[in-house]
Amino acid sequence: MNAPADPHFATRIRESFGRQKAMAFIGAKLTSVEPGATEITLAYREDLTQQKGFVHGGIIGMIADTACGYAAFSLMPADCSLVTVEYKINILAPARSSLVARGEVVKAGRTLTVTRAEVYAEDGKHIATMQQTLMMLPGTPDTPE
Amino acid sequence: MNAPADPHFATRIRESFGRQKAMAFIGAKLTSVEPGATEITLAYREDLTQQKGFVHGGIIGMIADTACGYAAFSLMPADCSLVTVEYKINILAPARSSLVARGEVVKAGRTLTVTRAEVYAEDGKHIATMQQTLMMLPGTPDTPE
Amino acid sequence: MNAPADPHFATRIRESFGRQKAMAFIGAKLTSVEPGATEITLAYREDLTQQKGFVHGGIIGMIADTACGYAAFSLMPADCSLVTVEYKINILAPARSSLVARGEVVKAGRTLTVTRAEVYAEDGKHIATMQQTLMMLPGTPDTPE
Amino acid sequence: MNAPADPHFATRIRESFGRQKAMAFIGAKLTSVEPGATEITLAYREDLTQQKGFVHGGIIGMIADTACGYAAFSLMPADCSLVTVEYKINILAPARSSLVARGEVVKAGRTLTVTRAEVYAEDGKHIATMQQTLMMLPGTPDTPE
C-alpha cells in the first residue's frame, strides 16, 4: 500500500536531510527511514530550552514536522520536491531529555499527503502528537534554486 | 478589554524571554511587548534553513509559537506560568529573508487563552498564520524548577 | 488583491449554496457574498444542540467551514470546484442563540487557499475561530457527478 | 492505563448522548462505548450532503468531534462535564455512504484530554482524521442548566 515510487528513496531522503542546515544546527539525527515512516532523534541540549528549562515547543514541532515531511517524501517520485502546507501539534507533557519523533503517512494522495508524528522522551513518555498536510511539487528539484 | 492583570507585564515578559535559551540560539529578538500582543523578529541565517535554502517551517513555528505565548502571558497575573497546549500553523509562502512574527490574543479565558500569530517576510509578504491554545498554571513560577 | 476571477461569482455561490442540502437541513442562510468573504447565519433551534442545550460544536464547525469554503470559492474561476483539505476550530464560548459565521480568505494560492472564519452569537459574543485549507480542482463541475 | 474513574461510565455516556438533540437530528447512533474509546455510526442521507452530493465536511466533523468527546468523557469522574476546546480535521476522501467515527483518548490529563478520531466509509475507505483537545469541568452537571 505504502510502496515507494522511487527505489532509492532512502538515499534521496538522507541526502535531503543532510542539506537541512537547521537540523544540523539543533543536532537532530535521521535515525530511521522506511517506506512511509521516518524517525528523527534529538539529544537534549540547554540551548534548545524555553524559559523553564524544558525543550522549546517550537523545537519539538521542528523535529515532528521534519519526521512527517520525510515520511511523505519517502513515497514520492524521485523528481519532485514537497512543501509543508500546515501542521497542528499538541504538546502533551514537558520534556527535559532527548526526544524521538516518529513520522508516518496517514494518506498519500496525488497532490496532498496527510501525515502524523508522535514524539517521545527517553523514558518513553508521550511528549507530543502532530497532524500535518504536505503538498507535492512535481518536477521541481529538492535543492536550493 | 485586554487589560493586563500585572502592571509590570512587559518587564516580566522580557525577563522570561531572556531565559529562553532557544530564542537566543536562533537569534530571535523580542521587539515589541504590548498588552495582548507581542512581536518577535528573526534575522535570516543559513543555519536556520531546510534542504532548499528557505527558513525551516519549524523555525517559523518557533517564533510564531513564542510570539503567541507572550501575547497570552502579557494579560496574566504575575505569579503564574503558562504552557502551550497546541498550535496549528499554515505556511503560506517560502521565506529567504528576516521574519517578524506578530502574536495577539483572540480570547483570554480563565484557564485557557486562544491566540493568533501572523508571520511576515522583510518585504511584507505573508509567510505563515498560526492559531494556538495556551493554559495558565496559577501559582507556579515561570522559572526552572 | 482579492479580485474574483469570475464576475458572476455571487450567483455561482448562491446556486452552489442552494444545492447544499445539509445547509437547508440545519436552516443556515447565506446572508452575504463579497469577493473573498461570505457570511452564513444560523437561527437557534433545539434540534441543533448538544447534551447541555448549547449549539453543537460540530454545527458551529459546519457553518464556519461553509463560510470559509465560499469565501475561497468567490475568488476562483467559473469552471472549477473545490474541496476542504482540513480545518481547525477553537470553540471560545458556549452558544444558545442564533449565530453568524464570517469567512474570509487569508491567502489565495494557485492550488491551495487558506481561509479563516469567526463565529459570533446574536449578542456579539465571540463563539469560535477557524483556520482552514482548501484545494481548487480545476475543470471540475461544482455539481453532483 | 485508561481506567475509567466512574464504573458506570457507559450508562452515563449513553444518557448524555441521548440528550444530544443534534445527534438524533442527523441520525447518528452511538454504537460502541469502551474505556477511552467510542464509536458513532451515521447512515447516509441526502439531507446531510454538500453541493456535490457528498456528506458535508461539517457533518463528518460533527460525528468525529462527538466520538472524541465521549472517548474522553468515558475516563472522567461521574460529577463532571466537559467542553471541546478545539479540533482539527483532515478530510481525506469524499464520502457518499454511511460512516463510522472511532474516537480514542491519546492523553488523559488532569484538566485537558487529547483525543483522536478516524472516520471510515462503509467500504473501509479512510474518510477523515481528527485531533482534538477537551477540557474537564469538575463538579458541573452534564445537563442543561
For residue D87, give the 3-state DSSP assignment. Answer: strand
Q: How many angstroms separate the CA atoms of C141 and D11, rounded? A: 47
Q: How far is C3 from chain D (nearest CA, A)?
A: 24
Q: What is the pLDDT of residue C1?
A: 52
State the DSSP H helix or E strand holding residue D114, giving kind and residue range, or none if neither. Answer: strand D112-121
Name the residue among C32, C103, C92 with its Cα closest to residue C62: C103
Name the residue among D27, D29, D6 with its Cα closest to residue D82: D6
| Residue-by-residue DSSP string for A56-104 | PHHHHHHHHHHHHHHHHHTTS-TT-EEEEEEEEEEE-S---S-EEEEEE
CB-based contacts of D37: which residues, under 8 Å, 6+ apart?
D71, D74, D102, D103, D104, D105
List chain D residues with CB under 8 Å of B133: 85-86, 133
Name the residue among C110, C128, C135 with its Cα closest to residue C40: C128
For residue D63, give the 3-state DSSP assignment. Answer: helix
Residue-wise pLDDT for A15-64, tens only, equals: 999 999 999 999 999 999 999 999 999 999 999 999 999 999 999 999 99
CB-based contacts of D76: which residues, under 8 Å, 6+ apart?
D5, D6, D9, D82, D113, D136
B129 touches chain C (CB under 8 A): yes
B106 touches chain D (CB under 8 A): no
Q: What is the pLDDT of residue C2?
A: 72
Looking at every residue in chain C, the average pLDDT score rounds to 96
B143 touches chain D (CB under 8 A): no
DSSP conformational letter for B56: P
Residue from the list A50, A66, A85 with its beta carbon closest to the beta carbon of B58: A66
Q: What is the pLDDT of residue A66?
A: 98
According to DSSP, the residues that pair with D118 across neighbouring strands are D102, D129
As given in the structure block, the three cell numbers for residue D124 are 473501509
Q: What is the pLDDT of residue A145?
A: 77
Is the overall model pTM greater than 0.95, yes or no? yes
Q: How many angstroms separate the CA atoms of D122 and D125, rounded? A: 7
Looking at every residue in chain D, the average pLDDT score rounds to 96
Q: How far is A86 from chain C (nearest CA, A)?
A: 8
For residue D26, give the 3-state DSSP assignment. Answer: helix
Q: How many angstroms separate the CA atoms of B11 and B16, rounded? A: 9
pLDDT band at D2 (very low <50, low <70, confident <90, very high): confident
Q: How many angstroms separate the CA atoms of A129 and A88, rounded? A: 8
Q: How far is D106 from chain A (nearest CA, A)?
A: 9
C88 touches chain A (CB under 8 A): yes
Mean pLDDT, contiguous 10-residue spans, chain B (145 residues): 86 96 98 98 97 96 98 96 97 98 97 98 98 96 89
List chain D residues with CB under 8 Å of B114: 86
* Yes or no, beta carbons of A58 and B57 under 8 Å apart: no
CA distances from C133 to A12, B90, B116, B129, C80 (A): 29, 8, 16, 12, 16
State the DSSP H helix or E strand holding residue D100, giving kind and residue range, or none if neither. Answer: strand D99-108
Residue from the list C90, C114, C126 with its beta carbon closest to the beta carbon of B90: C114
For residue A47, give the 3-state DSSP assignment. Answer: helix
What ipTM, to 2 d.p.?
Answer: 0.96
Residue-wise pLDDT for A11-23, tens only, equals: 999 999 999 999 9
Picking from A84, A86, A90 by the largest number of D CB atoms within 10 A of its own CB, the best residue to mutate is A90
| Residue-by-residue DSSP string for C42-67 | E---GGGB-TTSSBPHHHHHHHHHHH
Tell me: pLDDT of D1 over 70: no
Q: What is the mean pLDDT of residues C12-25?
A: 97
A13 touches chain B (CB under 8 A): no
Q: How many residues does chain A have?
A: 145
For residue D68, give the 3-state DSSP assignment. Answer: helix
Picking from B90, B111, B114, B130 by the largest number of D CB atoms within 10 A of its own CB, the best residue to mutate is B111
List chain A residues with CB under 8 Å of D88: 88, 131
* Yes or no, beta carbons of B52 and A88 under 8 Å apart: no
State the DSSP H helix or E strand holding residue A40, giving kind and residue range, or none if neither. Answer: strand A37-42
D83 touches chain B (CB under 8 A): no
